[in-house]
Amino acid sequence: MATLSGRSASGRTVFNAELESYVTLEKAELVIDNEKIKFTSGDRCYVTFDADDKVFTLHLESEANGNFDTLRYAELWAVPSSFKEISTEGTSFSVLYTFTARLKARDPRKGKYYNTPLITLDCKLGYTNP
């Protein structure tokens, strides 16, 4: 199971996701100013991951079912120059990476414009063998 966690420098934005073998979404949650949107295994999930080339991208999207007001989406990508493998000593992970990421998503806050501004997150991506 892969676990992704990210937080903005201000702490106002938090993103967490659980991915089976880095590719299949189990669940994810985006929180901005205590307002949440959630994603589940039934939502579309596209991941590109290549640790050797320092690439990680995640795209999540719900079904709109003809009503774009209910559409939820989040796009997150690692900044390659920040991508590092770090020691797993003292953790439950078998592999652990840190990186700076950029995030765009449906803004969960009421009264805000449909899309978030571009948000920078400090992220950790860990993998635990089953």
CB 25 within 8 A of CB 45: yes
Nearest to 82 by CA among 98, 68, 102, 105: 98
Our count of domains for the chain comes to 1
Tokens 């959630």 map to which residue? 38
Nearest to 49 by CA among 99, 118, 119: 99
β-pair partners for 37: 30
The residues, any chain, with a CB within 8 Å of residue 55's CB and separated by 6 or more, are: 48, 49, 78, 80, 83
CA separation for the pair 96, 98 (Å, rounded): 7
Total-model pTM: 0.92
- Domain of 32 in residue numbering reads as 2-127
What is the pLDDT, as a whole number, of residue 90? 79
Reported as a single tens digit per residue, the pLDDT across 41-77 is: 999 999 999 999 999 999 999 987 767 777 899 999 9
Nearest to 29 by CA among 7, 54, 1: 7
CA separation for the pair 59, 18 (Å, rounded): 13
Tokens 């571009």 map to which residue? 118
What is the percent of the chain with per-residue pLDDT over 90, rounded to a whole number?
77
Reported as a single tens digit per residue, the pLDDT across 84-121 is: 999 888 777 789 999 999 999 999 998 887 899 999 99
